[in-house]
Amino acid sequence: MQRVTEHTRHRPSNLVQRHHRQVTGFIVGLLLATGGVALAEEVFTPRHLTKLRSVLSAEISPDGQHVAYTLSVPRDPQVEDGPAHVELHVVDREANSRSFLSGDVSVSQVAWSSDSRTIYFVSKLNDDKHSSLYAVPADGGEPQRVLTHGSNLSGPALSPDGAQVAFLATEPVPQAEQDLKDKGFNQEIYEEDWRPTKVWIAPLDGSQAARPLDLPGSASDVQWNPQTRELAVVLAPTPLVDDSYMFRRVHVVDADTGRVVENIANPGKLGVVHWSPDGNRLAMISGEDIQDPAEGRLMVADVPGDGQLRDLMPDYEAHVSAFTWLDADKILWLADEGTGTVLGTMQVDGGGKEIWLEGKDPVLAGLSWSDDAEAAVMLGHTAQHPPEVFFHTPSQEAPQRLTDSNPWLSGLKFARQETITWNARDGLELQGVLVYPLNYREGRTYPLIMAVHGGPEAHISDGWVTSYGRPGQVGAARGFAVFYPNYRGSTGRGVEFSKMGQADAAGKEFDDIVDGIDALVEMGIADPDKVGITGGSYGGYASAWGSTYYSDRYAASVMFVGISDNVSKVGTTDIPEEMFLVHHLKRLWDDWDYFLERSPIYHIKKNQTPTLILHGKADPRVHPSQSLEFHRHLKTLGQAPVRLVLYPGEGHGNRRAASRLDYNLRMLRWFEHYLQGPGGEAPDFRIDYAPHLGDD
């Protein structure tokens, strides 16, 4: 194995330094790791996370010469709190990038005009009361508001002739109703007083008011047929999150009359939908069936036709994540395969499969194609940088990177990272991504953090794996091995693999994680007595399971927005149908014992693991009561330290800069205290933020 021999500023957080024994042990470990040599290169710290920029989307112009992209720019927590700003930038094929809209802005849904001269986007600027449609010249200039509405608009789609725009919005709140709300009559009628999202059509020149289409349900996507006056509209029965997860279906609609002329029977979860250039087909990414945990099958339907879809790659053990039409009979697609990605083409008759790119350098996402230039842009990330814009043509051997949003990353020391395979106890081969401790030395064992992804219908690719909630390079810089297991039920390996955890919550799927620990111990990397576990949502569920059922295997647990009681969880979540259809496959009243026995609270008396619990107080997915209940039982039992941290205003994950930094510092300190330090009583609940603010 490759040895890394340089190191620097590898230290615990400020509060942990107050514990003399921990500091002493930490320094000894540092000297061992570096051979006793003081080193100067800078390593990844929580402060770096607070300024990390990331490209969110990229759209290539029709002439293929420029790419408009949105850039997430986090707020500096020492200056202002809040979610990240989202800026608009444009980069050319020579990697020259210009900022078009920056600062205190939030830009989304970027699109080009057909002549490549105008960039459209959605934002709320100046005195806007609602999100509106804006346009800016491609060669620069002041953005001009094109269209506004009495409520937030989204999903704008220009008609083929550029004269009209279809968009999504709710009906504006009547003034009389708003007056009542202002007087305090603002009660909520749970899951009844929702307002469906409608499709509206308006002339782009503003000469007439927008007209709504009378369609059944709530819309989430609209696209013009490039050749006719028809629309592809995605509708769910209601605006409820559960319906948007499970019951979004595609309809072909006459744009002039609003009449539904055809229904496309996509069988389950739904991803992106695109018309073919000749307007005779609709392609989409769909679930294989209603019990498929994740959309990932590339399907095509004829229009007009019988509404039936055909899977172009039915046996492909991967998940298609994006696609675009190359011509009327050929599709360019991008798929998550294992811990990497594959870019390829396919004829609509299911033949002619051709691979353009495959691997993990970079891991690719998103896909935008320019017909004129026969070029594609995608987002790409690696172990050394988060998503950036990449450009590719069929003649290139590798995609070309166009943006460098964090040039300072080149000055940091990164730990080694690679994909690891192991066999579960039943023989199933599994994969995960391992970040070695910085300055890893073969023959020495290290404390290990198992970082478990949520879903479980998700996976970790062998690219950028560091964020406020994922220890990654920050953990590695502090002497931890960090492992991301893609346990059964994960995506990236086809439908059959993603269904392996169904009706077996916390069963073999979480056994897989423990088997991963054993594999790393056998490899001589991990110290079996110094293993921690963390994750959010379903990963938080795994963390709670690790501190109870599998408490003998974990010396520390950090649970984020996680599940502790499946009996109450299915009655307090906003996705009960998804929980039924793709997770448990049974109702609570059909098998009370199953829901109880697969709950960490059922195994609470096994707890010997110090547990840090963190949760957003406004979480609708996993109700904060899951953490309150777990904390109360652990605290009453009193067998191991426990702490609960609640984040006001945060939902199913933290969005604000301050709460993200706080989360990261608390997670790291908990693991340092119990896996590297003295252990015992919990560290002080106060955090000293000063060392993690200001210039590096």
Please spell the DSSP secondary structure of 205-249, one letter per residue: TSSS--EE---SSEEEEEEE-SSSSEEEEEEESSS-HHHHHH--E
Structure tokens at 603: 């195994």
pLDDT value of residue 282? 98
Predicted confidence (pLDDT) per residue in 160-208, tens digit = 999 999 999 999 889 999 899 999 999 999 998 889 999 999 999 888 9
Q: What average pLDDT score do residues 136-149 get?
A: 95
Partner residues linked to 200 by β-bridges: 167, 212
pLDDT range class, residue 9, cuts 50, 70, 90: very low
Provide the CA 380 distance to its chain's centre, in angstroms: 14
pLDDT band at 696 (very low <50, low <70, confident <90, very high): low
pTM: 0.92
Query: Residue 357: inside a domain, yes or no?
Result: no
* CB atoms near residue 594 (< 10 Å): 17
Write 96-103 long-range contacts (CB < 8 A, 24+): 97/402, 97/403, 98/140, 100/68, 100/136, 100/140, 100/143, 101/136, 101/143, 102/73
Closest residue by Cα to residue 458 from 491, 414, 502, 505: 491
1 pLDDT exceeds 60?
no
pLDDT(11) > 70: no
Residue 276 belongs to a domain: no
Is residue 103 domain-resident?
no
Domain assignment of residue 53, yes or no: no
For residue 54, the cross-strand partners are 72
Q: How deeply is 126 buried, as exposed, middle or buried, from its count of CB atoms within 10 A (0-12, 13-18, 19+)?
A: exposed
Give how far Cα 53 sits from Cα of 104, 124, 201, 229, 407, Å.
15, 21, 36, 41, 10
Any idea what DSSP says for residue 675? Answer: I
Indicate which CATH number applies to the domain containing 469.
3.40.50.1820
The model's pLDDT over 597-625, given as tens digits with 9 standing for 90+, comes to: 999 999 999 999 999 999 999 999 999 99
Distance separating alpha carbons of residues 207 and 503, to the nearest angstrom: 56
Based on the number of CB atoms within 10 Å of its own CB, is 347 exposed (0-12), middle (13-18) or buried (19 or more)?
middle
Q: What is the pLDDT of residues 510-554, one digit of tens each?
A: 999 999 999 999 999 999 999 999 999 999 999 999 999 999 999
637 within a domain of the structure (yes/no): yes
Closest CA to 311 of 324, 299, 301: 299
Burial level of 584, CB count in 10 A (0-12/13-18/19+)? buried
Mean pLDDT, the chain, integer: 92
Q: Which two tokens stand for residue 614?
A: 């963190």
223: which 2 tokens?
A: 């696209």
* pLDDT for position 481: 98
| pLDDT value for 41 | 65
How far is CA 332 from its chain centroid?
A: 23
Q: What is the pLDDT of residue 642?
A: 98
The alpha carbons of the chain give a radius of gyration, in whole angstroms, of 26
Q: With contact defined as beta carbons under 8 Å apart, do 503 and 586 qualify?
A: yes
Average pLDDT over residues 120-139: 96
The pLDDT value recorded for residue 693 is 86
Top pLDDT among 32 and 525 is at 525
In terms of residue numbers, what domain contains 514? 16-48+413-692
Nearest one of 281, 148, 181 to 223, comparing CA atoms:
281
Return the number of other C-beta atoms located less than 10 Å from residue 191's C-beta. Answer: 11
- Express each pLDDT in 560-572 by its tens digit: 999 999 999 999 9
Q: Which two tokens stand for residue 571?
A: 């009655």
- 182 CB-near residues (< 8 Å, 6+ apart): none
- Give 501's pLDDT tier (boundaries 50, 70, 90): very high
How sure is the predictor about 13, in pLDDT bands with cuts at 50, 70 and 90? very low
Give the pLDDT confidence of 626-667 residue by residue, as tens digits.
999 999 999 999 999 999 999 999 999 999 999 999 999 999
91 has a pLDDT exceeding 70: yes
Residue 230 counted as domain residue: no
Tell me: pLDDT of 321 over 50: yes
Predicted local confidence at residue 7, as pLDDT: 27
State residue 664 phi and psi, 5-degree precision: -60, -45
Q: Is residue 121 part of a domain?
A: no
Pairing mode, strands 446-452 and 526-536: parallel
- The two tokens of residue 268 are 């389950």
pLDDT per residue as tens digits for the range 574-592: 999 999 999 999 999 999 9
In a domain, 203, yes or no: no
pLDDT at 464 > cutoff 70: yes
Going by pLDDT thresholds of 50, 70 and 90, the confidence category of residue 375 is very high
Percent of the chain with pLDDT over 70: 94
Work out how many domains the chain is built from and give that number.
Answer: 1
- The predicted pLDDT at position 695 comes to 63
